[in-house]
Structure 1
Amino acid sequence: MGITYLEENTNFDYSSEGIQELVKRIDANASDASPLDFSLKAYYYIRDAWPYNPYRFSLIDNDWSASTIYTRLTGHCLDKAILLISVLRAKNIPARLGLAKVKNHIAVEDIVEKFGNDVLVPHGYVELYLNGKWVKATPAFNKTLCEKLNVPPLEFDGIHDSLFQAYDRTGTMQFMEYLEDYGSFDYVPLAYMFDLMKATYPTLDEKKIELGMVLNLNDL
């Protein structure tokens, strides 16, 4: 474990007013909560308070601070991972950003139409240090969206990795699988993430999408 995963930086700016407000909201009436108890409360709050929205992806560095993300009404997996990491660090719980390539099998018709495949890059998750070990959590898909897709919401107990729902509620239709893990980061590597996206989605070059822009999938 490295102390670096407790530090504040431009992405995980947990001393900001917005993130401090979020910590208080999560920790209401339980300021003496254990690291495990707070982590679980934070996971479920962030999972469900920001409905999942994959259609806006900013390529602007300043958009990737937790305090900025906090002001939005919805968020994609990376947005929500950044929020969770920030509130965890604010409570002295080591946390870092994980990136991966995933394949989504349900409700991706428009993604396939825009990008030409059903691979999602980069997918963001959280690694947090609890009870002497690193454990993974993914607060991306809010409960109401999971109900709409007939997928069980992703639970997290703070002990076991919680990364994806393999199947829908029937157990017969595959929902998500991890294809590749790119490792963990102490910051948001925006240029690296954009390189991964360009390698996966040739349409970004065709549309002349560059760093410094906001990518709205509905405009592609």
Structure 2
Amino acid sequence: MDYLAATYYYDYETEEIQKIIEEFKSSNVTLKEKAKALYIKVRDGWRYDPYHINLKKEAYKASKVATKNSGHCLDKSILLIAGLRGLGIPARIHLAKVKNHIGVERLIEKFGTNELTPHGMVNVYLDGKWVKASPAFNKALCEKCNVAPLEFDGENDSMFQEFDNKGGIFMEYLEDYGHFEDVPFDFILNNIKEHYTDIYEKYKELSEIRL
């Protein structure tokens, strides 16, 4: 499988993605340092928003995500993967079902549950091994929720904040859907249909859901 390829979704040859990674392309630092810096840029440059769900494949193109100032975990993972591939760093999307335990009142109000699926994160290939990175939760949001922002050192998995700053459970993984070479749009859409049936039926004629 080619985890460096530009695809319909990971369209890193576009002006929008090239603008994001331009500062890293001429740098003499290692690929690991570039990956770490790009992770921070995506994590904090786009505000996390789980209440905006796209139902059309066009919206999952990295170049489309790049033009916004916010995105959910899938959006931000796609953006990071496109940037990494554009820098010559193999990367792929990894999906799972997770449960939030902090700041869940609005989630339950909107979704009817504090379980989020599919949750997107990134597998990055560095120094001969795959490591996980989750750029979803921006630093400002983490501070608001009293949770330390996720750091990524390029050597160890950085998947989720298991505990908040007071020791309470923040997030847990319920089901692992595995990794994919490209964005699995049909899988994502079917997952949304299955887990949020009422929401999907209400908004399926639209191109996106805003809760």
Residue 117 of structure 2: which of 115, 121, 128 is its match?
Answer: 121
Q: Given the two structures, how large is their TM-score scaled by the length of structure 2?
A: 0.95
One-letter amino acid of the structure 1 residue matched with residue 79 of structure 2 = L
Alignment counterpart, residue 45 of structure 1, candidates 41, 46, 55: 41
Q: Measure how far apart 1:175 and its partner are.
A: 0.4
Which sections of structure 1, spanning at least 5 residues, go unmatched?
none
Identity of paired residues, percent? 48
Answer yes or no: is the 8 Å Cα contact 2:192–2:200 preserved in 1: no
Aligned to 2:176: 181
> Which residue of the partner structure matches residue 22 of structure 2?
24
Residue type of the partner of 1:70?
Answer: A
The range that moved more, 65-74 or 187-196, is: 187-196
Deviant stretches of 4+, over 4 Å: none
Q: CA separation in 2, counterparts of 1:55 and 1:61?
A: 17
Question: What amino acid sits opposite 2:80 in the alignment?
Answer: L
Question: Aligned runs of 1:1-220 on 2, under 5 Å?
Answer: 2=1, 4-25=2-23, 27=24, 31-171=27-167, 173-207=168-202, 209-210=203-204, 213-217=207-211
CA shift, 1:204, in A, is 2.6
User: For the residues of structure 1 that align with 2:101 and 2:198, how far apart are their CA atoms?
Assistant: 21
Shift of 1:196: 1.3
CA RMSD of aligned residues (A): 1.4
Counterpart of 2:209, as a letter, is L
CA offset at residue 202 of structure 1?
2.8
Following TM superposition, by how much is the alpha carbon of 1:181 offset from its aligned partner in structure 2, in angstroms? 0.8
Aligned counterparts of 2:196 and 2:101: Cα–Cα separation in 1: 17
How far 1:206 sits from its partner (Å)? 4.5
Which residue identity does 1:86 align to in structure 2?
Answer: A
The answer to whether the Cα contact below 8 Å between 1:137 and 1:163 also exists between their aligned partners in 2 is yes
Partner Cα separation in structure 2 for residue 159 and residue 100 of structure 1: 21
Letter in 2 for 1:175: F
The answer to whether the Cα contact below 8 Å between 1:59 and 1:211 also exists between their aligned partners in 2 is no
Q: Which runs of 5+ in 2 are unaligned?
A: none
- Larger deviation, residues 121-130 vs 55-64: 55-64
Contact 1:39 1:88 in 2 (8 A): yes
Return the alpha-carbon distance in structure 2 between the equivalents of residues 181 and 147 of structure 1: 27
